[in-house]
Structure 1
Amino acid sequence: MTTPDLRLVPKTPEQTAAWLPVAMAAYEDARRRAGDDADGAAAAARASQDQFFPDGRLIDGHFLFTVEADGEDAGWLWLGPVKDTSTWYVWDVAVHESFRGRGLGRATMALAEEFARSQGASTMQLNVFAYNEPAIGLYGSLGYAVTSMHMQKPL
């Protein structure tokens, strides 16, 4: 299997508008899988959209890309600063199911880190839900370390 030509292509406003409901639904689903009830998951998705996409447009200083593999839409990447320009965050990253298992997640993260460094970042952070064991394995192999952990127990 050959390694695809992987590129980060900025999403247009129209592409962002089409992506936003898909991404927020995926985030809401991830929150439910992680233990939030339906109302809490929906509220978290609304809060994220309101904070980062007021009027449907991504806030200044953040970047949203289509991950292209050999010219095909293989996923997305959203990243931007957290508190200052030296600490950046991977707000969302996804590789479409049909492209998984080919190293594109690893390659996308390398491009994300390279881009963040080019913008002055010296630290990259991210969140991964505990049920997502493949992503946890990937991030660990890339040198990411656990910095906090939330736990819960249904009663």
Structure 2
Amino acid sequence: MKTIKVTQCLLLALLGLLSVGARQAFAQATTTTVNQNIPYERFFFVPCANGGLGEDVLLTGELHELSHVTTSASGNIHVAMHLNPVGVSGTGLTTGLGYQNTGSQQFMLTDHGDGGNSTFILRFNVIGQGPGNNFTVQQTGHTTINANGEVTVTFDNFSIECR
């Protein structure tokens, strides 16, 4: 699941750049809300499927995003993002069996201008037809950056469990 880590890093970099501009642009507290559906297409390898041999599954649908970005009068920024699949389903490329994707992702960022914190929580299930081809992905990551821009705390706990 390296894609998740890369996505998280890119999002942090983007939000960091936005936060500098936001601090300069806002003299009063503001909140911006985004509520949208985003097209979603992704291949997953389901290790439990196909009698334990595994198979690739193409999942398509939409992700519903609900995000709030709040900037205080002093320039502090807080971002809260929640994503969940909407009608995300797919077909196993080997067996032809159907799959459904459920779960959610949460991302929170607090930037005080002199350091900040970000937390990423992911939990989703891929549920397939028939016995023995379901799995759960869980990931929790956190990063703290001090006033010198140095990472002082970071962890990323990741697991996949066949069910």
Taking structure 2 as the reference length, the TM-score comes to 0.26
Answer 1 or 2: higher relative contact order, Cα 8 Å, separation at least 6: 1
Larger radius of gyration: 2
Which has the larger share of strand? 2
Which has the larger share of helix? 1
Taking structure 1 as the reference length, the TM-score comes to 0.27
